[in-house]
A and B are shown apart, each in its own frame.
Chain A
Amino acid sequence: MKFDVVIIGGGLAGLTAGVELQKKGLRCAAVAEGLTLNECPREEFIKLGGTLFPGDSVIGGHIVDDGDGKSLEWVETRNLVGTRLEAPYYILSTGKFFSRGLVSNMEGITEPVFGCDVEYAGGPSEWTVQEFFDDQPFEKFGVTTDAESRVKIGGKVIGNLYAAGEILAGRQDIVTTAQKVAEQIIGRKK
């Protein structure tokens, strides 16, 4: 199935970007594993013609290196076996640990769909601090991007895979990051 933008993760960040993009006439598909804690513009996204795949998740994709750099060609989902989702642009907005956008174990932290570069420090004993009400280090962990919000794998930028929302390293406002990504894509489309 072909779309203008495929959004991986249908929470507040993904659907906020989706709404902006649909408004500009870009056809979006959002793959959303479950509901999210944050209120998010699901209904508006659908009303604007966005396609939502609820209860599904992207399990992988095909990254190619065409000489100019790396890019994502298609993704596949758990439910849509045999049907690929294709688009010139992709947004990764799967959130942090709760929504499993980041996965941790005793050894470290990874981004499970593409293996994007993740910024974090030390082992589990350094991820939290003793006082519950103090800021916790793990809340700043996330994927690293270039200035245009595109993720990296092994230090190399994936030219058409943008990250938005809580999956980003640092503490950033979710809606702001989503709008930024939507602007980047709209800008490129022109």
Chain B
Amino acid sequence: MIYDVIIIGGGVTGVGTARDCALRGLKVLLLERQDLTAGATGRNHGLLHSGARYAVTDKESAAECIRENKILRRVASNCVEPTGGLFITLPEDDLAYQDNFIKCCREAGIDAEAIDPKEALRMEPSVNPALIGAVKVPDASVDPFRLATANALDAMLHGAEVRTYTEVTGFIKEGDRIVGVETRDTKTGAEEKFYATITVNAAGIWGHHIAEMAGCEIRMLPAKGSLLIFGHRVNKMVINRCRKPANADILVPGDVVCVIGTTSDKVPFEECDDIRVTPEEVQLLLREGCMLAPSLAQTRILRAYAGVRPLVASDDDPTGRSTSRGIVLLDHEKRDGIPGFISITGGKLTSYRLMGEQATDLVCGKLGKNARCRTAELPLPGSEKDLMEGAKGLKMAEKAAIGRQGTMVSKMDFANKSEVLCECEHVTRAEIAYAVKYLDVHNMMDLRRRTRVGMGTCQGSFCMKKVAAALAEELGCPEKTDEFVQEYLRERWKGMIPVCWGDALREAEYMRKLYADKAGEGEER
């Protein structure tokens, strides 16, 4: 069978492109070598930029951000929380920067308004009370897992096929033209071939390697960004520093946690698959974070994580900050003489939809298909309407499920599967069963990205066994429970050890007591 389009990469760009292609009636196959959102999509702030951050340095990106920001508030309402944002000036910053900043914002179409520092403190009590200036902007918080998953789900509902844990190992060519891909199932090792008229490289930083396999070069610059997650929200609004963008100057409230980030350092390509946060980065993030919201000093850090931005190099700046955050769409037929192959990269979470639109426009052009993009109009599954308003008398776990899955809760069997399995995040058996049925879940990590299972304060310590057993049963492989638990413990541990002091160390001791000290589970020691 021949697909119209194969999309490589299950990040937000890939699934966004897949949804757009599917909505325009194309026959779509999406390939992802790990899980959806396993790369940079699931390893960032979760910030829906207003564009203000780029207003001074990159007006084009800024204008793009505010346009997309407005669209996503509408079509992805269940993934976006309209928190608003503040850009604060601290005594050590130059207050003069603020005027130019507001001017640039307005030129880009961003509604930026200077407010009295006292008013800022009232709106956002966690903000550093030493502030001497504040600007209110329409930043928002977006859940990248939810956003990408809703795109993938809608793509599937419109006929797209999604294959995770399927790695592209090579291209099938007819002359210079790419006509398909060779793949390997990373779980079973099984090899397969798929054919399509057009192949889209949407693999983020790994797109560098995909392009090499295809016989061309995209000069990408892997820029590692580390972040810290705190146990709960200290802030209601996004808090930024009003100065030239620097390290660790954004604090975002995301779902029930808040996230400080990021650092930015060039890393070699070899490290992109196993990226770790260093003690120095943790110190820096914490120090700078406390400048934005001093109470972070008393707030428990749950874990540290890092992602790699797929920046496309425009000069030799090692920090990657002066590269444009603009969208890079490459027609390799024109650029490199490779027909049937295009790359969509650069950009940012906020502009993923536009990236999908531009890539799909190019695909349609090549296929001679004349169909209009509708992703700016059609709400994503789950975002059709806000169910929270009528949820007052519902059980906590049902409300939490609405918060995560929006209108898709109608697919959940709360009557028979009401048991709360993950208590920190109030996840029921019903939501787990739903995720398994609709959201392409193969293991605990996948389930975590779809439902927040184990993302809470205990990092899964208390409920992971119950959750693993339920998942294994829903997947029809109850014998895998222990394997799920062990796999999950290792993954959680990785994020805990960079911040393993204070309460995180207490949690670590508890986790070890529960799972490593007992006979049976500790067999591998």
Contacts and interface: CB of A to CB of B under 8 A. Distances in A.
Interface of A: 37, 96-98, 100, 104-106, 123-125, 127-128, 130-136, 138-139
A96 B509 CA distance: 9
A165 to B, nearest CB: 14
Interface string B216-256: 00000000000000000000000000000000000000000
B475 to A, nearest CB: 23
16 contacts: A37-B513, A123-B279, A124-B505, A127-B500, A127-B501, A127-B505, A128-B493, A128-B496, A128-B500, A130-B494, A130-B497, A132-B490, A133-B524, A134-B525, A136-B512, A139-B509
B117 to A, nearest CB: 30
A57 to B, nearest CB: 16
Interface of B: 279, 283, 486, 489-490, 493-494, 496-502, 505-506, 508-513, 515-516, 522, 524-525
B505 A104 contact: yes
Given A97-B509, A131-B490, A138-B509, A105 B502 contact: yes
A133 B525 contact: yes
Contacts of B496: 128
Given A124-B279, A130-B497, A138 B502 contact: no
Contacts of B515: 132
A132 B506 contact: no
A128 B508 contact: yes
Contacts of B524: 133
Contacts of B494: 130
A124 B509 contact: no
Given A130-B497, A133-B516, A139-B512, 8 more contacts: A104-B502, A125-B279, A127-B500, A128-B496, A130-B493, A132-B489, A133-B524, A135-B525
Given A124-B279, A124-B501, A127-B501, A133 B510 contact: no
A64 B505 CA distance: 34
A123 to B, nearest CB: 7
A98 B508 CA distance: 9
Question: Secondary structure of the B side of the interface?
Answer: helix
B505 A97 contact: yes
A124 B498 CA distance: 8
A167 to B, nearest CB: 12
A136 B508 CA distance: 10
Contact of A128 (B489, B490, B497): B497
Nearest to A136: B512
Which of A96, A128, A132, A133 has the largest number of chain B CB atoms within 10 A? A132
Contacts of A100: 506
Contacts of A131: 490, 493
Interface of A, helix, strand, loop or mixed by DSSP: loop
B521 to A, nearest CB: 9
A124 B516 contact: no
A134 B516 CA distance: 8
Contact of B513 (A98, A104, A134, A135): A98
- B497, B499, B524, B525, most chain A CB atoms within 10 A: B497
Contact of B508 (A37, A106, A123, A138): A138
Given A124-B279, A139-B512, A106 B501 contact: yes
A132 B508 CA distance: 10
Nearest to B507: A98
Nearest to B490: A132
A106 B285 CA distance: 14
Contact of B506 (A97, A124, A127, A133): A97
A133 B496 CA distance: 14
A37 B510 CA distance: 9
A185 B183 CA distance: 71
A133 B522 contact: yes
A137 to B, nearest CB: 10
Among B486, B500, B509, B513, the one with the most A-chain Cβ atoms within 10 Å of its Cβ is: B509
Nearest to B525: A133
A105 B501 contact: yes
A82 B317 CA distance: 65
Contacts of B508: 97, 128, 136, 138
Nearest to A127: B500
B468 to A, nearest CB: 15
Residue with the greatest number of chain B CB neighbours at <10 A, chosen from A128, A134, A139: A128
Nearest to B276: A130
Contact of B509 (A98, A106, A130): A98
B500 A98 contact: no
Shortest Cβ-Cβ A-B pairs, 10 listed: A132-B493, A124-B501, A128-B497, A104-B501, A97-B506, A97-B509, A98-B509, A125-B279, A132-B489, A128-B500
A123 B498 CA distance: 11
A135 B508 CA distance: 12
Contacts of A96: 509
Given A98-B506, A104-B505, A124 B493 contact: no
Nearest to A37: B513
A98 B486 CA distance: 22
Greatest chain B CB density within 10 A among A96, A98, A131, A133 is at A133
A8 B58 CA distance: 62
A127 B509 CA distance: 11
Contacts of A133: 486, 489-490, 516, 522, 524-525
Nearest to A132: B493
